[in-house]
Chains A and B, each alone.
Chain A
Amino acid sequence: MNTIVCVKQVLDPEIPPAKFKIDPETKKVIPPTGVPPVISVFDERAVEAACRLKDKNKGKITVISMGTAKAADVVRHAISMGADDGFVLEDPAFENLDSFGTAYVLAKAIQKIGAYDLVLCGRQAADWGAGQVGSILAEILGIPVVTFACSIEAADRTLKIKRLVKDGFEVVEAPMPSVVTVSSEIGLPRLPGGMGLMMARRKVIPIWKAADIGAEAAKLDKANTHSEITGLSIPVRKSECEIIAGATPAEAAGNLAAKIIGLA
């Protein structure tokens, strides 16, 4: 079973909020020094879903990531978890693309990779969180899409997917190939084992340019972008927090109880 997973390298979401800085002019975030970027939270879950399928059904997992050359790190991380191969899509033409542009580039890369039974993405990127690439990708590839998967199984040419709905879950069946976006409810991603770590270190991760995947300039032209960001700001949050104290934790708790009993 051939699976392709799309992963994105993002600013570490766990940096302290006080350290989060933006440049309102360029409308970009200023990454703090010394904090390595990480794999987007939901994309890591997508890799986990792919690994779980490979555990059961054998097959191959290919990982692709559109970003800077450093994105090789997240591809390597996916390989250490159990993916087989990976590619980085890096080109000046790929910068500042919107969801449509991103999906287009990924689609061209997927077409270059060749045969596949399943394409996995995270449900949204941990940075911009647009939440659209997976669905647009499916439109471009002309295949079905199932969103917010929390468990995926494969048998014959059918995917059995449990997905999140408002007050519970829905179990659906989709044909192969399909795009499936993965949500965090799938559970914790595995810690890369010893073998995975070493394999990932040795792996060569090729970089593909626009020409390598046959991406047309017209489709990447920023003038044709579907949406654009006109402003980026950090909301001002002011709060005075009153710390409730006590001689012992129990006493403090009692004081707090008195304060909040009237608030409910």
Chain B
Amino acid sequence: MDANKGVLVCGEIAEGKLATITIELLGIGRKLADEVGEELSILLLGSVSANLGKDAIAYGADKVYVSDDSLFDKYNSDAYTQAAANICRKIMPSVMLLGHTDIGMDLAPRLNGRLGGGLAMDCLSLSIDPATKFLVTTRPVYGGNAHATGISKTARPQMATIRPKTVPGAERNDSRQGQVIVIEDKVDPTTLKIKIVERIKEQVEGVKLEDAEVVVSGGRGIGSKQNFEMIKELALALGGAVGATRPVCDEGWTPSSLQIGQSGKVVSPKLYIAVAISGAMAHITGCLGSKYIVAINKDKDANIFNVARYGIVGDYKEILPALTAKIKELKKA
């Protein structure tokens, strides 16, 4: 029998409220907890954490563990790892869920290393095996070319991270009952080895990538930083956001926050226009959720055409200006 029981969600707080990803994690967490017939708990760290207990319970948590130490207000890798590890050792969850966000991607592996569990990151889906009751994770590998399913037979906790917008958010039910438990242990600041010196917000012009309904993305074939202006113009004309592939960000033609792909952002807009992108899997996995993919590439055999709905084979330098102009014209009408 498994000594570990229950599902624990590591929640994130954004602007004084539960982050959307947290609500999504509670949703999937509840589902998994119900399937194994165990409790769903959530860990919230930060000054406002105590106030959010009610919300967390309404979204499905049975127990809410809070620590209102202001040390946790801004993500601190050492502090969060310590606090989460401590809580885990106390309540010994069977499953732990985190968001595949910049916080989760840093915290989950550290936590896993400290606790000796089994972790699968960037999961596309989670389920419980009806026979063994193990958590079954499905995640993309080889840049998205394949999917791998995995389990942890003995290592506990079974950990998984999941990207925002992968699973639906939990339904809010204010009549739900639950417990808010304050964590007494404090993190000793002298044990924190990493010192945060400053945070730099990157100014991104225009529409934010994650929320955009239209994304215009450029690849290596764009050729230069100047040429990337054409992508921006088309995005502007369509009221959309600008995206880029990893090589483009490597070259410094765009800020890295615009990177779409396996190691960047995953977006699912209504319309995704891939310009001069060959369609390597590592990029495509970042946009496959889009409703319509349009490809513009001068190589008719480029892989991008295998996933696109519409395409033009040609030199983007000749197509984009005309496209932008026509879009502007049609929008005026």
Per the CB under 8 Å rule, do A and B touch in the complex? yes
Contact assessment for A230 and B149 in the assembled complex, using a CB-CB cutoff below 8 Å = yes
- Chain A, residues 15-27, CB within 8 Å of chain B (1/0): the string is 0111010100001
Contact assessment for A132 and B193 in the assembled complex, using a CB-CB cutoff below 8 Å = no
Contact assessment for B251 and A188 in the assembled complex, using a CB-CB cutoff below 8 Å = yes
Contact assessment for B330 and A258 in the assembled complex, using a CB-CB cutoff below 8 Å = yes
Contact assessment for B326 and A257 in the assembled complex, using a CB-CB cutoff below 8 Å = yes
**Looking at the complex, which one of A168, A230, A231 makes contact with B200 (CB distance below 8 Å)?**
A168
Q: How far is the CA of A174 from the CA of B196 in the complex (A)?
A: 9
Task: Taking A237-B288, A261-B327 as given, write out 10 further A-B residue pairs in contact, using a Cβ cutoff of 8 Å, ordered by the A residue number.
Answer: A20-B145, A99-B119, A124-B263, A132-B113, A185-B249, A230-B136, A243-B300, A257-B323, A259-B310, A261-B330
Interface centre among A98, A226, A239, A254 (most CB of B within 10 A): A226
Name the segment of B25-33, B64-72, B277-285 touching the other chain.
Answer: B277-285
Q: Does A140 contact B (CB under 8 A)?
A: yes
Q: Top 6 nearest A-B pairs by Cβ distance?
A: A135-B109, A257-B326, A253-B322, A139-B113, A136-B113, A227-B118
Scan residues 152-188 of chain A and give those whose CB is less than 8 A from a CB of chain B: 160, 164-175, 178, 183-185, 187-188
Nearest-neighbour CB distance to chain A for B113, whole angstroms, equals: 4
Chain A residues with CB below 8 A from B309, complex form: 239-242
- Chain A, residues 117-141, CB within 8 Å of chain B (1/0): the string is 0000001101111111011111110
Nearest-neighbour CB distance to chain B for A69, whole angstroms, equals: 23
Contact assessment for A160 and B121 in the assembled complex, using a CB-CB cutoff below 8 Å = no
Contact assessment for B306 and A241 in the assembled complex, using a CB-CB cutoff below 8 Å = yes
Q: How far is the CA of A140 from the CA of B112 in the complex (A)?
A: 12
Scan residues 290-308 of chain B and give those whose CB is less than 8 A from a CB of chain A: 291-295, 300, 303, 305-308
Chain B residues with CB below 8 A from A172, complex form: 194-197
For B329, the closest partner residue in chain A by CB is: A257
Q: Does A57 contact B (CB under 8 A)?
A: no
Q: Does A148 contact B (CB under 8 A)?
A: yes
Would you list 7 pairs from A and B whose C-beta atoms are within 8 A, ordered by A residue? Answer: A14-B280, A126-B143, A139-B113, A168-B200, A184-B249, A239-B309, A249-B312
B contacts, CB < 8 Å to A: 75, 77-78, 101-103, 105-106, 108-110, 112-114, 116-122, 136, 140-143, 145-155, 193-202, 204, 213-214, 238-240, 246, 249-252, 256-257, 259, 262-263, 270-271, 273, 279-282, 288, 291-295, 300, 303, 305-315, 318-323, 326-327, 330-331
A contacts, CB < 8 Å to B: 11, 13-14, 16-18, 20, 22, 27, 29, 42, 98-100, 103, 123-124, 126-132, 134-140, 144-148, 150, 160, 164-175, 178, 183-185, 187-188, 224-235, 237, 239-245, 248-254, 256-261, 263-264
Contact assessment for A237 and B110 in the assembled complex, using a CB-CB cutoff below 8 Å = no
Contact assessment for B121 and A264 in the assembled complex, using a CB-CB cutoff below 8 Å = no
Chain A residues with CB below 8 A from B201, complex form: 167-168
Chain A residues with CB below 8 A from B141, complex form: 127-129, 232
**Looking at the complex, which one of B109, B142, B330 makes contact with A13 (CB distance below 8 Å)?**
B142
**Looking at the complex, which one of A123, A136, A187, A248 makes contact with B263 (CB distance below 8 Å)?**
A123
**Looking at the complex, which one of B142, B213, B314 makes contact with A20 (CB distance below 8 Å)?**
B142
**Looking at the complex, which one of A17, A27, A228 makes contact with B145 (CB distance below 8 Å)?**
A17
Nearest-neighbour CB distance to chain B for A66, whole angstroms, equals: 17
**Looking at the complex, which one of A132, A171, A183, A263 makes contact with B109 (CB distance below 8 Å)?**
A132
Contact assessment for A263 and B112 in the assembled complex, using a CB-CB cutoff below 8 Å = no
Contact assessment for A148 and B102 in the assembled complex, using a CB-CB cutoff below 8 Å = yes
For B76, the closest partner residue in chain A by CB is: A172
Nearest-neighbour CB distance to chain B for A119, whole angstroms, equals: 14
Contact assessment for A145 and B294 in the assembled complex, using a CB-CB cutoff below 8 Å = no
Instruction: Given the known inter-chain contacts A175-B193, A227-B119, please indicate yes or no for A166 contacting B200, CB distance below 8 A.
Output: no
Contact assessment for A244 and B311 in the assembled complex, using a CB-CB cutoff below 8 Å = yes
Tell me the total A-B contact number using a CB cutoff of 8 A. 277
Contact assessment for A241 and B194 in the assembled complex, using a CB-CB cutoff below 8 Å = no
Nearest-neighbour CB distance to chain A for B118, whole angstroms, equals: 4
**Looking at the complex, which one of A147, A227, A260 makes contact with B106 (CB distance below 8 Å)?**
A147
Q: How far is the CA of A261 from the CA of B117 in the complex (A)?
A: 50
Q: How far is the CA of A16 from the CA of B280 in the complex (A)?
A: 7
Chain B residues with CB below 8 A from A169, complex form: 199-200, 202
Q: How far is the CA of A224 from the CA of B154 in the complex (A)?
A: 8
Q: How far is the CA of A129 from the CA of B145 in the complex (A)?
A: 12
Contact assessment for B109 and A136 in the assembled complex, using a CB-CB cutoff below 8 Å = yes
**Looking at the complex, which one of B113, B251, B252, B305 makes contact with A138 (CB distance below 8 Å)?**
B113
For B100, the closest partner residue in chain A by CB is: A131
Instruction: Given the known inter-chain contacts A132-B113, A249-B319, please indicate yes or no for A17 contacting B281, CB distance below 8 A.
Output: yes
Chain B residues with CB below 8 A from A260, complex form: 271, 273, 292, 294, 310, 327
For A24, the closest partner residue in chain B by CB is: B146
Chain A residues with CB below 8 A from B331, complex form: 261
**Looking at the complex, which one of B118, B262, B294, B318 makes contact with A250 (CB distance below 8 Å)?**
B318
Instruction: Given the known inter-chain contacts A20-B142, A168-B202, A174-B193, please indicate yes or no for A187 contacting B252, CB distance below 8 A.
Output: yes
Contact assessment for A135 and B151 in the assembled complex, using a CB-CB cutoff below 8 Å = no
Contact assessment for B113 and A135 in the assembled complex, using a CB-CB cutoff below 8 Å = yes
Q: How far is the CA of A174 from the CA of B77 in the complex (A)?
A: 12
Q: How far is the CA of A195 from the CA of B204 in the complex (A)?
A: 41
Chain B residues with CB below 8 A from A99, complex form: 109, 112, 119
Chain A residues with CB below 8 A from B314, complex form: 249, 252
Q: How far is the CA of A232 from the CA of B252 in the complex (A)?
A: 35
Nearest-neighbour CB distance to chain A for B126, whole angstroms, equals: 14
